[in-house]
Amino acid sequence: MRSRSSADRLEALSLEIECKLQKALSSNSQRPQILQQLFADRIEGGRSRSSALSAIQCTKNAILSENDDGVAPVDDREDGWLCFYEILANHFVRVPESGRRILELIVQLWSQSFAANIFALLLHKWLFEALFDGKEISLRYSSALVQGATNVFWIDIQTNTRHFRSLYRYLLEDVALVPDQLSKISSQFLSLFI
């Protein structure tokens, strides 16, 4: 069970992401840079690589030390990277309302570079594990998930890295190989590939 302080820190990090997305919405001139910074933020070797997520600076060590999501610590990883999405993707399943707030902002930014990438990284588990009151995932969400996952896949290929490996593993093992999960993706979208 996650401690209250860890949940509070994760919610603070979620709110920081919301603030960044709101700032991107309100600033036409800085929108691409803000989204690129948000996408690029990660924890590497215990250090934040950029300043776009100031909440990481204040809370990363506490979040990582209390992490009980099965995410390997930075020191145990072959590449020394831990992306913030690995922890937040699980948080959004436990606190679906945080995921909905992020989704509402990303939907307004669909046409922007990096929006689909951020969507796929942050909300891939939320789409399959949060309760939707019986509604199936729309074609829009399915398409954005595949587009974002494809984009980050090619980033890893081009850079010869595996920074987004946990996303691929989840989509393969917990979605593609589980018929009930796969059926949640819009049938219209799946018909494009058949």
User: pLDDT tens for residues 4-25?
Assistant: 677 788 888 889 899 999 999 9
pLDDT at 74 over 60: no
Question: pLDDT band at residue 80, thresholds of 50, 70 and 90?
Answer: low
User: Is residue 166 within 8 Å of 86, Cβ to Cβ?
Assistant: yes
Per 3-state DSSP, the chain is made up of helix, strand and coil in percentages (nearest 5) of 65, 5, 30
Rounded Cα distance between 35 and 113, Å, is 7
Q: Which residues pair with 81 in a beta bridge?
A: 44
pLDDT at 151 over 70: yes
Residue with more model confidence, 34 or 128: 34
Residues 79-87, mean pLDDT to the nearest whole number: 69
> Which tokens is 130 given?
């949060």
